[in-house]
Amino acid sequence: MAKGLQGGDKDKTAANRHRRVMAGRYRTPMSTEYFDQLWHRRAILSAMAALAVAPAIPVDAGARIMTDPFALGVASGDPSQDGFVIWTRLVGPGQEPLDAAAVALRYEVAGDASFRRIFRAGSAVAHPERAHAVHVEIEGLPPGRRYWYRFHALGATSPAGRAATVPRTADRLRLAVTSCQHWEQAQFGVYRDIVAADPDLIVQLGDYIYEQSYPDQPKVRLFGAAEPKDLDGYRRRHALYKSDPELQAAHRAAPWIVTWDDHEVLNDYANLANREGLPPELFGRRRAAAYRAYFEHMPIRPSLWSNGNAPHLYRALDWADLVSMSVLDTRQYRTAPPCAAPNMARNVRLHGCAEVDRPDRSMLGGAQEQWLTARLAGEYRPWTLIAQQIFFAPLYLDGARSETFSDQWDAYAAARARLLDRLAGPSIQNPFVLSGDVHSFWVNELRRADREAAIGAEIVTSALGAASPPAGRFGDVHANNPHVRHSDVDHAGYVLIDLDRRQMQADMRAIADRASVDSPVRSARCFVSERGSRRISLA
């Protein structure tokens, strides 16, 4: 079976709980937070409703086009034991939006690259009100094997992509973990190394696109357009990124697991607070447009978005009996930034801000935090991964360990402490937090404030393609932060993670010259963790 864009919601429990919390009928430790933010939530619901899908127009079954309608490539993602989602978007000449009515499209899923053994075939419709993007949820396939897929439309056939189903039992998993790719600041040649590594999954932790240009940074190529602020602008920015041949090749090579950070909308935004201080009803419309464009261009199961007024990205993507992976959203639901003016969110240095320790402050929001708590309480797999966007461990900027950044978990210290308590639970053997955002490589031991013993570790991937942080941004890192085992603020790249029944190995892969698509990528540092140790060490 396969389901198109209007597939049923497979996570109704979390969605219903979220609605009950919004209505005040479900008491949680964060219930006061929800009452405080109820007006903000209404603002975003109104904005999402304004972008509701228009009625479909008749399908143009015989349409043809003289250029390649699949110029943005294909992708797969969110694998399960019996399927995955496959994606494409039809475009017109010059990768402009397709000037056409709804277009009929066919897809095939095969067990071989030559498409001799077809496992699934069917049809879908690419609607203009969805930018002619198509998401198909494939179901009912045998577990634990690779598949190839392709699309046919407008007299053309797409490139073939490779997907996979999750095995019932597994002895190994290879992940390529990426973050932060700025079109103007780098070529995306790192993806060549990722494709050559042949990972089972590519995990993208946000800042897939950047909305803003940086005039003071050298440019290797140009956006060629103003900063996006509406649906058309965000669609064009995503299409520009999807035109990159290295990024397309990586999408064809393996299933992706994605989540967003801030630059998919606006730098440093937090829920509906934003760096421009726009009121929620205005910023909500921009955020809704950005969210919709993100979904239209990502291989995410449409069942997560079947309710357009309450889209969510947090979800479970586990690998058989080996790895538990909880994918979080640390942007959409967080409490407003501490010690900030109303509606304002900027990443600033905090010093002496008592609000960071308030127990009612949440990074995840009540519904997501409860969902994650239940997930961790029922853990049985040997490796527990938390895939999220921003720096998790404390990062003190001064010797007194009192100064931190406002856009990281440091500004939500009580929420971090709650999560650390759950990661220290008896059901969890080897917890690792996977993070991005800071354009640098880090390995951090995770500890609770009242104990010296390590709970687990955080692995922070550098930017796949973006400028390094300015010199001195993080202060005297190792003097101020003894739990930091490694930091490399000079290199871009990604982290290649191998897990088996015995150990985890994390290889930090760095590119020599981010401005050159042909630049070599090498291993900059490698770390290992033995099962059950809760520690990580240099390999």
Alpha-carbon separation of residue 134 from 239, 388, 440, 475 (angstroms): 14, 26, 35, 46
Residue 514 has a CB neighbour count (10 Å cut-off) of 25
Work out the end-to-end distance of the chain between its first and last CA atoms, rounded to an integer number of angstroms. 45
Which residues, other chains included, contact 12 with Cβ-Cβ below 8 Å and sequence gap of 6+? Answer: none
Give the Cα separation of 521 and 57 in Å (integer): 48
The tokens describing 121, both together, are 């075939």
Mean pLDDT of 309-338: 94
Per-residue confidence (pLDDT) for residue 428, from 0 to 100:
96
Q: Write out pLDDT tens, residues 58-106.
A: 666 566 677 899 999 999 999 999 999 999 999 999 999 999 999 999 9
Phi, psi dihedral angles at 283 (to 5 degrees): -65, -30
Our measurement of the distance from residue 252's CA atom to the centroid of its chain's CA atoms, rounded to an integer in Å, reads 18
Phi, psi dihedral angles at 385 (to 5 degrees): -110, 135
Residues in a beta bridge with 528:
505, 537
The domain 59-164 having CATH identifier 2.60.40.380: the answer here is yes
Positive or negative: CA dihedral 285, 289, 294, 299? positive
Residues 382/502/388/186 CA torsion (nearest 10 deg):
-160
Mean pLDDT of 323-350: 97
CB distance 368 to 314 below 8 Å:
yes
Give the Cα separation of 86 and 150 in Å (integer): 9
The domain 172-538 having CATH identifier 3.60.21.70: the answer here is yes
Q: Write out pLDDT tens, residues 1-56.
A: 555 433 333 334 434 433 333 333 333 333 334 333 444 444 444 444 444 444 44
The residue assigned the tokens 């010690």 is 339
Mean pLDDT of 247-268: 98
Burial 75-99 (b: 16+ CB within 10 A, else e): bbbbbbeebbbbbbbbbbeebebbe
The residue assigned the tokens 């698509």 is 517
Domains in the chain: boundaries = 59-164, 172-538
Give the Cα separation of 275 and 344 in Å (integer): 5
Q: How many CA atoms lie within 13 A of 119 on its CB side?
A: 24
pLDDT band at 451 (very low <50, low <70, confident <90, very high): confident
Helix or strand holding residue 376 (H, E): helix 366-377
CB distance 483 to 497 below 8 Å:
no
Mean pLDDT of 305-326: 88
The tokens describing 522, both together, are 């090498």
Q: Write out pLDDT tens, residues 288-301.
A: 999 999 999 999 99
Residue 413 has a CB neighbour count (10 Å cut-off) of 20
Q: What is the mean pLDDT of the chain?
A: 90
In 288-388, at which residue ranges do the beta strands (DSSP E only) sit?
A: 315-316, 323-327, 349-351, 383-387
Which residue, among 169, 37, 165, has the nearest Cα to 111 in the 3D structure?
165
Long-range own/partner contacts, residues 532-537 (CB < 8 A, 24 or more apart): 532/429, 532/430, 533/430, 534/429, 534/430, 534/431, 534/453, 534/454, 534/455, 534/456, 534/457, 535/445, 535/454, 535/457, 536/443, 536/445, 536/457, 536/459, 536/485, 536/504, 536/506, 537/485
Per-residue confidence (pLDDT) for residue 66, from 0 to 100:
79
Which residue, among 163, 174, 172, has the nearest Cα to 111 in the 3D structure?
163
Q: Are strands 146-153 and 161-164 parallel, antiparallel or unpaired?
A: antiparallel
Q: Write out pLDDT tens, residues 130-178.
A: 999 999 999 999 999 999 999 999 999 999 999 999 999 999 999 999 9
Our measurement of the distance from residue 490's CA atom to the centroid of its chain's CA atoms, rounded to an integer in Å, reads 23
Alpha-carbon separation of residue 143 from 82, 110, 147 (angstroms): 5, 14, 11
